[in-house]
Amino acid sequence: MLGAALAGARIGITGLGTHVPERVMTNDELATIVDTSDEWIRERTGIRERRFAADDEALTDIALPAATAALTDSGVEAADIDLLICATVTPDMMFPTSSALLADALVMPKAAAYDLLAGCTGFVYAIAQAYGMLASGLSRRALVVGADVLSKILDWEDRSTLVLFGDGAGAVVMEPVESGGFLGFELGADGGGGEHLWYPGSGSRTFESPEALLKMNGREVFKFATRIMVYSAEQLLPTCGKTVDDVDVYIPHQANKRIIDYAVAKLGIPSEKTIVNVDRYGNTSSGSIPLALADARADGRLHDGALVLMTGMGAGLTWGSALMEWTNGRPS
Ligand code: UT7
């Protein structure tokens, strides 16, 4: 699905917040659990460390501080949010949804709330959804959360997946803005490739085996990732009347530094314009892009009018890109 933004509908991000669990898990520490090494992990993935939630920390425990920070950043009252979408594959439980729990904790009596499940692409899907709701007038102010605690569903005996993922949360407030805002989205899904990254036993289908833990065929997902990161950006940019040269800030999904390097080289985006934090957080799934967006802002890269390209990909298999002009939070 490909869409340039609705003519005249200027919707932007007016608040941004993030949160990661306190516990830092280093590569050396993981090497005491499975047969791996700091050297292998750094060379093959670029990851140095990641955050893991504590035993008693669930999704909403890390999503709530991120959501609160985004609201504070925007200056919007929780009571004025009328839509809350939480993108995650690791909700506290299937229901009540994490979004409903967050809306309750934040005291948002007017908010419709639902979880969105699109693997690591969840955040990009969710901002596209919120955009549509805001542009059509169904919502005035939305809170979009992207968060995951993948450490809870990892197989702690499988070195090929345990070393890749981490926990983290990000949230944005989306509203009509006077200038800039989202220019377009490109979203897609290929269930035919779903078998390469799956979580058996997590739903209504019964499996004799394997166990209910995240499973991945890393090589296949790597091939998909390198192809789709480039394809999605190349589809979206011309639809919005832009070229790669116009992009000021590139925010790729943070799964593996090698995937990012490939996409950067193939697209021809200078690495100075590319945000990389996979070294500190690993792959935080739905938290990946908002965490990187926050790093871009902390680095002073999100100047007014900066053209930001975000591309996610992950389980489904799914992918999605969003193109926006950063607005420095001016609601209209
Ligand atoms: O959001 C989307 C989520 N996922 C991704 O984007 C992941 C995409 N895939 C990847 O990033 C890479 O495929 C991996 C990082 C998962 C693996 O890297 P690779 O260079 O494709 O390694 P490989 O799977 O080809 O394995 C090479 C070797 C194997 O040993 P043999 O068969 O050559 O003897 C593995 O058993 O590395 C071994 N290996 C490890 N060794 C030490 C696999 N995992 C580890 C490990 N430590 N953690």
Predicted confidence at residue 127, as pLDDT, reads: 98
Residue 201: give its domain's CATH number.
3.40.47.10
Return the H-helix or E-strand segment holding 187.
strand 181-189
Question: In terms of DSSP bridges, do strands 2-4 and 249-252 run parallel, antiparallel, or are they unpaired?
Answer: unpaired
> Mutation test of ligand 1: which of 34, 36, 42, 44 has the most ligand atoms closer than 8 Å to its C-beta?
44
Predicted confidence at residue 332, as pLDDT, reads: 66
Residue nearest to atom 12 of ligand 1 (CA): 218
pLDDT digits (tens, 9 = 90+) for 53-86: 999 999 999 999 999 999 999 999 999 999 999 9
Asked whether 53 and 25 are in contact (CB, 8 A), the reply is no
Say which amino acid occupies 169: A
Catalytic residue at 253?
yes
Predicted confidence at residue 142, as pLDDT, reads: 98
Question: In terms of DSSP bridges, do strands 49-51 and 2-4 run parallel, antiparallel, or are they unpaired?
Answer: unpaired
Question: At what angle are helices 98-106 and 59-74 packed, to 10 degrees?
Answer: 50
The stretches in the chain having pLDDT less than 70 are: 7, 329-330, 332
Q: Is 46 left (phi over 0), alpha (psi -120 to 50) or beta?
A: left
| Token reading at 123 | 């955040």
Tell me if the bond preceding 317 is cis, omega within 30° of 0: yes
**Interval between CA 40 and ligand 1 midpoint (Å):** 9
Question: In terms of DSSP bridges, do strands 197-198 and 2-4 run parallel, antiparallel, or are they unpaired?
Answer: unpaired
Cα dihedral 237, 242, 248, 249, rounded to 10, equals -20
Q: Tokens 């990254």 identify what position?
A: 197
Task: Walk across the sheet containing 83-87 and list its strands.
Answer: 11-19, 167-176, 142-149, 83-87, 112-116
**What is the rounded CA–CA span in Å between residue 76 and residue 331?**
10
Report the 10 Å Cβ neighbour count for 298.
10
Q: How many domains does the chain have?
A: 1
Residue 129 lies in domain: 1-332
Helix spans in the chain (H): 27-30, 38-45, 59-74, 98-106, 122-135, 159-162, 218-239, 257-267, 278-281, 288-298
Residues 120, 196, 240, 256: which is the catalytic one?
Answer: 120
Is pTM beyond 0.85 here?
yes
**What is the rounded CA–CA span in Å between residue 91 and residue 116?**
10
Predicted confidence at residue 329, as pLDDT, reads: 61
Catalytic residue at 120?
yes
**What is the rounded CA–CA span in Å between residue 109 and residue 158?**
43
Residue nearest to atom 45 of ligand 1 (CA): 160
Predicted confidence at residue 330, as pLDDT, reads: 67
Give DSSP secondary structure letters for 102-161. Answer: HHHHHT-TT-EEEEE--GGGHHHHHHHHHHHHHHTTS-SSEEEEEEEEGGGTS-TT-HHH
Residue nearest to atom 43 of ligand 1 (CA): 160
